[in-house]
Homo-oligomer: A and B are copies of this chain.
Amino acid sequence: MSKFWSPIVHQLTPYVPGEQPKINNLIKLNTNENPYGPSPKALTAMEIETGNSLRLYPDPTSTRLVRAVAQYYQLKPKQVFVGNGSDEVLAHTFQALFQHDKPLLFPDITYSFYPVYCKLYGIQAETVPLNSSFEIELGGYLRANGGIIFPNPNAPTGHGTRLDAIEALLRKNPDTVVVVDEAYIDFGGESAVALINQYPNLLVIQTFSKSRSLAGLRVGFAMGDEALIEGLVRVKDSFNSYPLDSIAISGACASIQDKSHFEYTRQRIIASREQLATQLKALGFNIIPSQANFLFVTHPQHDAAKLAGHLRIRNIIVRYFNKPRIDQHLRITIGTDDECKTLVSALTEIIKN
């Protein structure tokens, strides 16, 4: 507490990201990182960019990257916004599109950064409970609102929402913005990008951190109607002229253009997820069908926090949330097949004893 702080600062409850411990031989399945490296073409592009030209400011509009994303998704460049990770894109979205006099709606169990942004920007929010199977039911969002946001697939559940349900919501909610946070979409969900040209109230947010394995580079993007993108650009240009550095622009461009590395690694992760789900079911776990690069699991006979503690002793970390409704679940990131094998052996042993 300090007399020098703006009043808002006293009320903030910061987001707490999953830990990033520096431990050798750690099997790190706690922050939904990709077990495979980024595109080798992206690494080469970044190495080329690492030279004396870093003395110059980057392109403030990241035009190359905006065009590359637009081309990939067959959109106009004016329908694309890029930022310093999808967290920054989300922050600008909350400030630019959700500060209205009715409450923002989002699921009760979801990405825990959403309520944090609400406090930062003084946005009132109401949560809509997941159903008893931990699924988003969009019918619950048909009420007065200043905006709607949900991840698809949802985190930490991995559950995907069907595109026809999203389209019905867009149709019935024409006066406020619906943001679909597609951080995990490439692992099996149906992207809402296909609806952008029909619905001016739709914003889709994606990231290079998961399916493109560039969490360490900080690049995210939003796609939607030109007017929504212009709102984001106005806030960005009033906040930081150059949110993306030159290396990130080059790396992300090369990454999105390398379709074969992307396809190969995401298919491997999907295959490993299905195999791991089968093995965990055999151990007695209940598993929500996942369209993401993680599984959300619970065991009827074993306390989740204790399981996480036992795994930790064996140098395996998974994500445990000490929160209502989900305090008997673990969120487990899909690792390499070797990592999954070690995890299953460890859980087999823990459950046996």
Residues of A within 8 A of B (CB): 1-9, 12-15, 17, 20, 28, 31, 33-38, 43, 46-47, 50-60, 84-85, 87-88, 91, 95-100, 113, 116-117, 119-120, 175-177, 200-201, 209, 213-218, 227-228, 230-231, 233-235, 237-248, 251
Task: Give the chain B neighbours of A34 by CB distance below 8 A.
Answer: 55
Task: Give the chain B neighbours of A235 by CB distance below 8 A.
Answer: 9, 12, 120
B239→A84 contact, CB < 8 A: no
This chain: copies in complex: 2
Give 6 nearest A-B pairs by CB, closest first: A37-B52, A14-B237, A6-B99, A54-B216, A2-B227, A216-B246
B175→A237 contact, CB < 8 A: no
Task: Give the chain B neighbours of A2 by CB distance below 8 A.
Answer: 227-228, 230-231
Determine the residue in chain B with the shortest Cβ distance to A50. B46
A39 CB, min distance to chain B CBs, angstroms: 10
CA distance A239 to B241 in the complex (A): 17
B58→A15 contact, CB < 8 A: no
A243→B117 contact, CB < 8 A: no
Determine the residue in chain B with the shortest Cβ distance to A59. B20
Task: Give the chain B neighbours of A246 by CB distance below 8 A.
Answer: 216-217
A56→B91 contact, CB < 8 A: no
B20→A57 contact, CB < 8 A: yes
Task: Give the chain B neighbours of A116 by CB distance below 8 A.
Answer: 237-238
CA distance A201 to B38 in the complex (A): 44
